[in-house]
Structure 1
Amino acid sequence: MRNGLVQLCAWAAATGAAVALSWLGVHAVLTGAAFEQPTALPLPSPKAGGPPLSATATPGPVPTADTPTQPASPTATATSAATTAARTPATTPATTPPARRPAPTATTTSTVRSYPVPGGRVALDIRADRASLVSATPDPGWQMQVWNGDQWMRVDFTKDTQANSVFVYWNGHPPVVETAVR
């Protein structure tokens, strides 16, 4: 009886160690690779030449009557202990104006539009002379397939005997988008 209990404890300890080691290995691989957050595409700026909008941008502090009118120098507020101890003079890097973006033209102006069909949703970047796929997301249980040509694109969502499509084509004219629900 005592020999069986020792074997059972040894088996339980070895199994527990193997499960823990496997979980740690799989967890380390999946954490960094499989579940990364998707990145969003930048949206066009509402005014020509302005900075692009950001959904994560937060506004700066709102000045009040008791707020000093001169902003504090970055070197005065961000002085580290090492620079204070070394007593090195702080230098302000030369600032260069931001690069100006070219004025929008027929080929650079774009609009991202979404086209829902039964089975999924397609987002297209529509420009004056072409279109490109931003995303195609099938609904749960549906499958998706994309075909690209030189002057056309097709996205199909299929499930069992159902098939619904989004077509976009251009050939010397602005893109035309059609949906087909079958």
Structure 2
Amino acid sequence: MARMRRGLVHAMAWSLATGAAVTLSWWGVHTVMAGTAYDPPRALPITADRPATTPPSVASQASSTRRPKASPTPSPTQPPASVAAPSRKPPAPPSRSPSPAPSTPSAGRGEVKSYTVDGGRVAFDIGTSSAELVSATPASGWQMQVWKQPTYIRVTFSRDGKEIDVFCTWHDHAPMVQIDER
């Protein structure tokens, strides 16, 4: 009888320890995964009744993932090859013409223009000599990545090996938007 009781105590202790370990592991993974790319996308609507100038705190929330407030959008150490060297020949026409949505003039900056592609929607505040990203929202099932540099902004939507880039560049020229699908 004492042997059976000891076996039962050991089994209960093992069950409690295993349950505690599983609970602690789940809690740790849940804590780490909170606020990562697995959160559902959040988008800010662009409407005519909303002022076109977006405060920096709202613009940083336009991303589809939550990021710590202290770290800005990651930038690659070198720009992508398609933007790295200025070309001497005129750029090829985009494979798909951008479809700008109605825009609203912003106070002293420029105008907000929205571009919708198969992978999602991007809105830029385009001024005379530079531009800012207002929002970027991937379509359902698409992934999105954003690069911000002093002379360009690149938003890439990707799914199943297909990539759609929306470039806004302003190096030695007025800001212009190009769409590249591959």
Same fold? TM cut 0.5: no
- The structure number with the bigger radius of gyration is 1
- Higher RCO structure (Cα 8 Å, ≥6 apart): 2
